A and B are shown apart, each in its own frame.
Chain A
Amino acid sequence: MNIHEYQAKELFDQFAVANPQGAVATTAEEAEQAAGRLGAGTLVVKAQVHAGGRGKGTFKNGFQGGVHLVKSAAEAGEIAGKMLGETLVTKQTGEAGKRVRKVMIGEAVDIAHEYYLAILMDRAASCPVIVASTEGGMDIEEVAARTPEKILRERVHPLMGLQPYEVRKLTAGLGFKGEQAKAFGKLLRNLFRLFLERDCSMVEINPLVATPDGQVLALDAKFGFDDNALYRQPEILAMRDTDEEDPREVAASEHSLNYIGLDGNIACLVNGAGLAMATMDIIKHYGGEPANFLDVGGGATQEQVAAAFKIILTDPNVKGILVNIFGGIMDCDVIAHGVVAACKEVGLSLPLVVRLEGNNVAAGRKTLAASGLNLIAADDLADAAEKAVAAIAS
């Protein structure tokens, strides 16, 4: 789950992670008022969409840039008016772009130096790891590749939590002294508390900045949250903005299906995440392109299969469908009846290849054959992939 920049700011404020003052606005008037409250000096107006590259983006109305510096409240309102309700295209949004429904107005900060600071879950060590660098404001992967000695890493014990000596090590490692050292220490301790208490999988501040007057501020933030923990994070869940998500993925999640849209033309419907990935892989292996990842879970019901077909069919690129079910515990005949009923319900006309294996498979295959539907039965996984690729070629 992703959140907006203004929501990240709300979290920072809640946990006393120092960051520039700012406010969110949904209309030009609100933007002007908010800018007025922030006072004199340079302000920044930022379009709120879940995508990077906003500064270099272009609006479909021709307006350039999703991030602008302004000198007055009136100008803030004017710029906000050009962004709100318009569609911003960046290198991360794709051609369709994203509609801007909110803008953030923030104070522009003088920067003495840019740093990098992140906390993430270290899988191999099974603990949080803090990553920091004096080389902020640029792609951290590049910094790691070019100058690995400039990346500091501090693993934190899962039960002990962040220790004062760990804060001191990082403070010294980044070269903070005096008031800045104190400010950084406070920011890091609060950020770590936020990371744990809100079940984050990642929080990345790039850049973290030192100002000429000795402040240390989080200038931008990227959050990742542990989906498994959302049940106990109602505040985070409330930040979900389904307008920013693929509508097919939203529909899938409503039916407890796991769907991720891709660029190909062979849709797949599979039980189990590993097998769903492997099915995409084997389609590619035989020269096809998968249109999606779709895991219907362990016990695919007729309703779920029907919902899955409907979601798949909203993708205009889809030219054929491959259903791959390993019915371990579930009766394959029940699954076959579900597939047939779902096909009839949605009036499926695209080529459909079905591979069934497992419990009571003979009866299941018989049901498919007797359905009167134009199904292509496959003997095994390789056969299924080959037939699916052939079906859309003809």
Chain B
Amino acid sequence: MAILVDEKTKVLVQGITGGYGGKHAELSIDYGTQIVAGVTPGKGGRVFEHGEVVVPVFDTVEEAVKQTGATASAIFVPPAFASDAILEAVDAGVSLVVAITEGIPVRDMMKVKAAMAGSPTRLVGPNCPGIVTPGRGEDSHGGCRIGIAPGYIHKRGRVGIVSRSGTLTYEAVWQTTQLGFGQSTCVGIGGDPINGTSHLDALQLFNEDDETEAIVMIGEIGGTAEEEAAAWAKEHGRKPIAAFIAGATAPPGRRMGHAGAIVSGGKGTAQAKKEALKAAGIAVAETPAEIGTTLAQAAGWA
């Protein structure tokens, strides 16, 4: 069944007329994803064309949802306008908002998160590669790709992947594709200190998903989200989990690219996270090259 999205999910793109949003809307269309609408304030009435596909552009998310029945939104809006775009999608009743935008101020995200309390809408990201539920065609064509991940590296299968990092997600996807396991759904939750969906949220969803037989969790230094997920998995996890934590060699107090990747006051070290994961019975890959093989052993597929 996969989680969050499947091949039938109708997706709208906020910021489809921008260069970045447009390019990735095209790649999603090529992948076979149902891109049904675009939203750019002031450009309603235009169309976004790619090959045979013609996507209507609306001024507001509300209108786009009413006209097309879109249930998921990909946000490719510049940082200064991104929190407004997220809240507009929430207001329009979209059930899933995936914020790709990198560089949203923390204060804005703090308010967005508080404003979303009690809302049925799920936020994934920001500063994330998005979500892919691979299709069953050649090079996983026919799946749902929301965001910026390369589609062809996937293969429909039995591993659920959740990660804070884009390129490390692709490493894990690629390794599990090469080993023949494939993925149910891959969720990039993003590298910012305040985000929507957490590692724990994703583990809970994968735990309930019939198609997901094992889980890969990729974390990095900073915060305690991995530890919280591990504590939950120890009590409730029904599926084997393999993990990798990046940043063992990162100097303390320095922001390692991602806004959230920082060891502060001795908290959030790779070592502490690895120990917490191991204590919860999660198999921890020693290097990023061994994510796939560590999973194979944990799942008894080796």
The verdict on B224 contacting chain A, using a C-beta distance below 8 Å, is: yes
Q: Chain A contacts of B194 at CB under 8 A?
A: 121, 123, 126
Interface string of B203-238 (1 = CB under 8 A from A): 000000000000000101111110010000000000
Of chain B, the residue at the smallest CB distance from A275 is B167
Q: Is the CB of A274 within 8 A of B165?
A: yes
Bound CA span A328–B167, Å: 8
Give the residues in chain A near B223, CB-CB below 8 Å. 123-124
CB-based contact A326/B107 at 8 Å: no
Alpha-carbon distance between A229 and B27 when the two chains are bound, in angstroms: 30
Report the separation of the CA atoms of residues A201 and B115 in the bound assembly, to the nearest whole angstrom.
Answer: 20
How far apart sit A229 and B171, CA to CA, in the bound complex (Å)? 31
Residue among B107, B174, B249 making CB contact with A226, cutoff 8 Å: B107
How far, in angstroms, from A227 to B235 measured CA to CA in the complex?
38
Bound complex: CA of A28 vs CA of B258, how far in Å? 43
Q: How far is the CB of A54 from chain B (nearest CB, A)?
A: 18
Q: Does A138 contact B (CB under 8 A)?
A: no
**When A199-B106, A226-B106, A274-B163 are in contact, do A329 and B111 touch as well, CB less than 8 Å?**
no
Asked if B53 CB lies within 8 Å of chain A CBs, one says: no
In the complex, which residues of chain A have a beta carbon less than 8 angstroms from the beta carbon of B149? 328
Q: How far is the CB of B104 from chain A (nearest CB, A)?
A: 6
Contact of A121 among B110, B247, B261 (CB under 8 A): B110
Q: Within the assembled complex, what's the spacing in Å between the Cα atoms of A158 and B107?
A: 8
Interface size on B, residues (CB 8 A): 63
| A123 touching B80, Cβ below 8 Å | no
Given known contacts A226-B105, A281-B288, A326-B167, is B114 in contact with A157 (CB within 8 Å)?
A: yes
Q: Does B246 contact A (CB under 8 A)?
A: yes
In the bound complex, residues from chain A placing their C-beta under 8 Å from that of B27 are 329
Minimum C-beta distance from B221 to chain A (A): 7
Min C-beta distance of A184 to chain B, whole Å: 24
B249 contact from A128, A158, A290, A357, Cβ within 8 A: A290
In the complex, what distance in Å separates the CA atom of A329 from the CA atom of B23? Answer: 10
B150 at the interface (CB under 8 A from A): yes
A228 within 8 A of B: yes
* Set of chain B residues within 8 Å of A293, measured between Cβ atoms: 250, 256-257
**Which residues on A sit within 8 Å (CB–CB) of B165?**
272-275, 277-278
A141 and B258 in contact (CB under 8 A), knowing A121-B193, A158-B110, A272-B168? Answer: no
In the assembled complex, A380 has its CB within 8 A of some CB on chain B: yes
The answer to whether A228 touches B150, judged by C-beta atoms less than 8 angstroms apart, is no
Binary interface encoding of chain A residues 277-300 relative to chain B, with 1 for a CB under 8 A from any of its CBs, else 0: 111111111000010010100100
Task: Give per-residue flags for A120-160: 1 if the beta carbon is below 8 A from chain B beta carbons, else 0.
Answer: 01011011100000000000010000000000000001110
A284 to chain B, nearest CB (A): 5
**CA distance in complex: A373, B147 (Å):** 37
Partner of B288 from A124, A126, A381 at Cβ < 8 Å: A381
**Selected contact of B111 from candidates A158, A258, A285, A358, CB within 8 Å:** A158
User: For B105, B193, B256, B288, which residue has the most chain A Cβ atoms within 10 angstroms?
Assistant: B288
Contact A382:B290 (CB < 8 A) given known A126-B114, A274-B191, A293-B256: yes
Most buried by A among B225, B289, B290: B289
- Output the least CB separation between B126 and chain A (Å): 10
Contact between chains at A298 and B114 (CB < 8 Å): no
CB of A271 within 8 A of CB of B290, answer no
**A281 CA to B171 CA in the complex, in Å?**
15
Give residues 243-302 of B contacting A (CB, 8 Å): 244, 246-251, 254-261, 265-266, 270, 286-290
Residues of B within 8 A of A279 (CB): 288
Measured CB to CB, the closest approach of chain A to B194, in angstroms, equals: 5
Is A231's beta carbon under 8 Å from chain B? yes
Q: In the complex, what residues of B have CB within 8 A of residue A196's CB? A: 107
Alpha-carbon distance between A57 and B99 when the two chains are bound, in angstroms: 47
List B contacts of A290 (CB < 8 A): 249
Q: Is B164 an interface residue (CB 8 A)?
A: yes
In the assembly, what is the distance between CA of A188 and CA of B237, in Å? 44
Residues of B within 8 A of A227 (CB): 255, 259
Find chain B residues with CB under 8 A from A128 CB.
110
Q: Among B105, B115, B266, B288, which residue has its beta carbon within 8 angstroms of that of A275?
A: B288
B103 touches A127 (CB 8 A): no
From B223, B250, B251, residue with most partner A Cβ within 10 Å:
B250
B110 in contact with A278 (CB, 8 Å): no
Smallest CB separation, B84 vs chain A (Å): 14
Given contacts A226-B106, A229-B105, 11 further A-B contacts (CB under 8 A): A123-B225, A126-B110, A199-B107, A228-B104, A228-B259, A275-B171, A277-B249, A282-B289, A328-B153, A357-B174, A358-B170
18 residue pairs bridging A and B, Cβ less than 8 Å apart: A121-B193, A123-B194, A124-B225, A128-B110, A199-B106, A227-B255, A260-B251, A262-B249, A272-B168, A272-B257, A273-B191, A274-B246, A277-B257, A279-B288, A281-B249, A281-B270, A281-B287, A326-B171
10 closest A-B pairs by beta carbon, nearest first, are: A274-B165, A273-B257, A272-B167, A328-B150, A229-B105, A382-B289, A275-B167, A274-B168, A278-B288, A158-B114
